[in-house]
Amino acid sequence: MDLINFNWSEYWANNYSGINHKSKEDLVDFWDKFSENYAKHILTNENLNGDIKRNVEKFKEIFNLDNNTTILEIGPGPGTYTIPLAKIVKNITVVEPSTGMSEILLKRAKEENIDNITIINKRWDDVELHRDFEKHDLVFSSYSLVVEDMGESLLKMNESKNKYCGILTFGNLPVHKDIYVKIGDILNLENTKKGDFSLNYILINNILNQYEIYANINIHEKSFCQYFNNIEEAFKKYKSGYTKTRELELSEDQINDVKKLLEDTLTKTKDGWTYNTESKEAFLWW
């Protein structure tokens, strides 16, 4: 393989484009339905909140954030970073296709008397510079570049910045991989989920290098905790990792075996079930 002339953008498109859901509509529908549960657990996790505060302080220093700064954020979800950043900068424009996530973000902003957030209810694939928004000082994404063409998306980020671009993404394999592999065995499916690698920082950095964009990279530890009210809820979450990309009919035995696996893997608490582990997070900026 000629790594010097290898087309990483084309490699990504051929191997990872379109694998996250059966269609664009399914992707938005998934996050609409999962938004409340996701926000509940993300925003109440003390360890994760500590990670977020650490990162925000790092952003302030690296990107020189102040009350004159404008930010364009891709896929803000429930405002994990949007809310704390909005308290520092002049304004934030977010690109968020999920109305469920947007509603949670707006509710949180209202509760904290924040009025400098503008929402563009579209996918990053579908927005255009100078049509939907103007350039911002910082273009930022956190685990949200689920796109059709990664090369095109990164170039769009670069073209949309006045000063900086920043990306938070996986610093190692996603923490759920061990569970998905075991579930794949039970369901007689391939263990390899290509989606595990699509947002890995190495692939993103290789594509950036292809366009002569040379990012700074920092790898740090990251806490991870997933909460479920019951095993049925956990089953639906992990099952969606397979059914969002294909039609899948499970037998009663398979369903029971997957639930038993989750009972053995997750930790029982007085309020439900949790999955706790440590992972690594990558921060790229240029």
Mapping DSSP onto H, E and C, the string for 38-101 reads HHHHHHCCHHHHHHHHHHHHHHHHHHCCCCCCEEEEECCCCCCCHHHHHCCCCEEEEECCCHHH
266 in a domain, yes or no? no
- Domain with 118, as residue range(s), is 8-175+194-225+279-285
121 in a domain, yes or no? yes
pLDDT in tens, 157-192: 999 999 999 999 988 766 666 787 788 888 777 644
Given a cut of 80, is residue 63 above it in pLDDT? Answer: yes
Average pLDDT of the segment spanning 50-77: 94
262 in a domain, yes or no? no
Predicted TM-score (pTM) of the model is 0.79
169 in a domain, yes or no? yes
264 in a domain, yes or no? no
230 in a domain, yes or no? no
CATH at 221: 3.40.50.150
Number of domains in the chain: 1
252 in a domain, yes or no? no
Counts of helices then strands in the chain (DSSP H, E):
11, 8
pLDDT of residue 7: 92
